[in-house]
Structure 1
Amino acid sequence: MVDLEQYLPILIFLFIAVGLSALFVFLPMGVARLTGAHKPDAEKNSEYECGFPAFEDPRSQFDVRFYLIAILFIIFDLEAAFLFPWAVSLDLTGWPGWITMMVFLGELAVGLAYAWKVGALEWE
């Protein structure tokens, strides 16, 4: 037979964690309603950076160029993430590491030039 008293500290920890999580979620919402900070209007409900209104039919069509710009941003963000460790470890990798990174940067430059040429970066 398993001694269930050993699980009491875990249960107490779980109850405290759930209670604190609920407190951190619902307390600010309640304080905002009580103090009057929760006053939605057209300006607060308007789109911010998404590119299309937030309260429309979810099946509505919108321009695919938004996704192209987002994908290009992610690609160049990852490029920056790869450049820092490469620069730190360049003394260990030497010329092979430098040549490999130049090939990588060249591929990205060709991709950017292609996207620029076909007009993927143009926004109307």
Structure 2
Amino acid sequence: MLIMLITSIMMMMASILSKKSFNDREKLSPFECGFDPKSSPRMPFSLHFFLIAVIFLIFDIEISLLIPLVVIFKNSQLNMLMLIGFFFFLILLIGLYFEWNQGALNWLF
């Protein structure tokens, strides 16, 4: 109950003391100097580059998951560590094959 009271007081104080912003239509519109724009204001975005970046992040995270395998190597049984490492690499290779088979790793369309 005390936490709810403190939270409510903090929210009311933040709304009272915050800088007031006036939502004027002219201030919210984009600045134009009177000339017609030559091109679209949005930059083109490559979906293929985004997919490559996501695949890189996934494999980068999986590499960071491999580091504890090296650290716990001294404290575990060799057979169990090899089995876990094998299954982990097998999942990585299946994912890589799937991405390659779907054409996500090809730069040319």
TM range (shorter): 0.5 to 0.7
1:93 aligned onto 2:61: no
Shift of 1:89: 1.1
- Unaligned 5+ segments in structure 2 are 1-39
- Alpha carbons of structure 1 residues 56 and 74: separation in structure 2 relative to 1, 3 Å: same
What's the C-alpha RMSD, in Å, of the aligned pairs?
A: 2.1
Q: In structure 2, what is the equivalent of residue 75 of structure 1?
A: 58
What amino acid is aligned across from residue 61 of structure 2 in structure 1? L
How far apart in 1 are the matches of 2:41 and 2:81? 50
Aligned residues: 68
1:122 aligned onto 2:109: no
Q: In structure 2, what is the equivalent of residue 110 of structure 1?
A: 94
What amino acid is aligned across from residue 78 of structure 1 in structure 2? I
TM-score w.r.t. structure 1 length? 0.47
Task: Report if aligned partners of 1:65, 1:120 keep a CA contact under 8 Å in 2.
Answer: yes
How far apart in 2 are the matches of 1:84 and 1:99? 16
Could you list the structure 1 runs, at least 4 aligned residues long, displaced by more than 3 angstroms after superposition: none
Q: Which has the higher contact order (CA 8 A, sep 6+)?
A: 2
- Unaligned 5+ segments in structure 1 are 1-54
How far apart in 2 are the matches of 1:110 and 1:56? 41
What amino acid is aligned across from residue 107 of structure 2 in structure 1? W
What amino acid is aligned across from residue 56 of structure 2 in structure 1? F
Shift of 1:82: 1.7
TM-score w.r.t. structure 2 length? 0.52
Q: In structure 1, what is the equivalent of residue 42 of structure 2?
A: 57
How far apart in 1 are the matches of 2:59 and 2:50? 14
What amino acid is aligned across from residue 47 of structure 2 in structure 1? V
